[in-house]
Structure 1
C-alpha cells in the first residue's frame, strides 16, 4: 500500500497535469476545470491525513492547485477572464452547497439510512465553516489574480516564476489566516489552532512552489481554442 506522502505527490502532480490538459483543450475547458476543482475541494476537504507527522486536509491539494489555473488564465487571457472564472466558480459553489444542505433535510427511508448518515458527515458542515470557506475563497482568489497581474506590469512581463510564486504564496497566506481564523478560532486551544494554521499554510506554500514548472509548461502549450 502506498504511503500518504507518496499518494500526496501522485495526486498533486496528476491534478496539475490535468490542468494542463484542460488548458490545451481551450480556455472554456480550463474555466470548467477550475469550477469543478473547487466543487471537488468542497467535497473532500473534511478528510485529513498524516503527512510527515502532521495532520493535513486532502482538500488542500486540489485547493492550492486551483491557484495555478487562475495564474495560467491571467497570464494567457488577462485578469478580467480570471475574475470572471472566480465569480462563476463561487456562484456554482453556493448553488452546490445550498442544494446539498437542503437534501440533508429529507427524512431517509430505512434502507438508505446509512447513506444518509454518510452524506451528513460529508456535507453537514456548520454555517460558520461554510461562510468562512466561501468568503476566504473569493477574497484570496481575487487577490491572486490582481497581484499576479500587478507583478507582471512591474517586471514588464519578465520573471514568470516570480509572479507565479509571489502572488500564489501571498494569497495562500491570506487565505490560511482568514479561513482558519474565521472557521476555527475560539473553538479549540490556541496551541492546537496555531499548529493547524501552520500546517495548512506550509502545505499550500509547498504546493505553490511545486507548481512552478507547470506554469512554464503552459507557455509551451498552444490551446486548441
Structure 2
C-alpha cells in the first residue's frame, strides 16, 4: 500500500498557469487608434470640403476622411503584428470611446445654456449636434467595418503564409471601408438625400479612403517591421475564434 507521501508524489502536477504575454508598444498603438478615431469623427465630421480632381472633377467630402483611414492603418498593423484577438480589444475600446463621446455631445448640446453664451449655442449645435441617425450610422459602420477589416487581414495572412503584406493591407481595407461607407450613408441619409446622391458621395468617400491606404503602404511596412522586431511577435490566427462578441484574447 502506498504511503501518503508516495501517493502525493504520484499525483499529476497541477498545470502551470499561463502568464499573459506583455508587449512594449501595444498600449501606445491602442491609444493612437482611439485618438485618431475620436478626432476624425468629432473634429473632421463637422466640415465638408471640396477638391477638384483630374477626370473626376469636383468632389465633396467630409474633412474627417483625411484622417479616419489612419485608424484602418492601425487596425492592419495591430492584426498583422499582434493578431485578431488583440485588435478586437482595440476595436471595442474605440467603440466604447466613440459611444461615450456621442453621448457626451448629446448631453452637452441639450443642457440649458447660460444667457451670456446663448450666441455660442448655435455654433455648438452645428458642430456636435448630430442627428440620432448620423450617430447610429457612425457607431454601426465603424464596428462592422473595423471587424471586417481585421477578419480579412488575419485570414489573408494565413492564406499567403505571411507574404505580400501589401495585398493584405489594401485588400482588407477595401472590404472594411466598403462595409463602413455603405452602412454609414444608408443609415444616416437614406430617405433624406436622393438615392443617387447617397451612392455618389459613398463612392467618392470609398475611393478616397482606400486611396489613403495605398499611399500609406510604405509607412505601414516600416511600422510593422519595427514592431515585429521590437515585440518579437508575428502572430498567425490559426486557432482564433473570430467572433467579434468577446474581448478576451484566445
Residues 58-113 of structure 1 deviation map (CA, whole Å, 9 limit, x = unaligned): 11122111100011011111111100000011011111111121111222123212
How far apart are the structure 2 equivalents of 1:51 and 1:205? 17
Aligned match for 1:200, one of 202, 205, 208:
205
CA drift at 1:130: 0.6
Instruction: Work out whether 1:27 is the aligned partner of 2:32.
Output: no
Aligned match for 1:114, one of 119, 126, 141:
119
- Whether the aligned pair in 1 keeps the contact of 2:148 and 2:176 (CA below 8 Å) is yes
Instruction: Please give the residue correspondences for 1:139-218 in structure 2 after superposition, counting only pairs within 5 Å.
Output: 139-218=144-223
TM-score (norm 1): 0.84
Structure 2 gaps of 5+ residues are 1-23, 53-57, 232-250
How far apart are the structure 2 equivalents of 1:65 and 1:164? 12
Show the counterpart of 2:36: 37
How far apart are the structure 2 equivalents of 1:96 and 1:151? 33
SS at match of 2:68: helix
Structure 1 gaps of 5+ residues are 1-24
How far apart are the structure 2 equivalents of 1:93 and 1:55? 24
How far apart are the structure 1 equivalents of 2:225 and 2:90? 23
Output the aligned Cα RMSD.
1.6
Show the counterpart of 1:20: none
4+ long deviations beyond 4 Å: 222-225
How far apart are the structure 2 equivalents of 1:198 and 1:59? 16
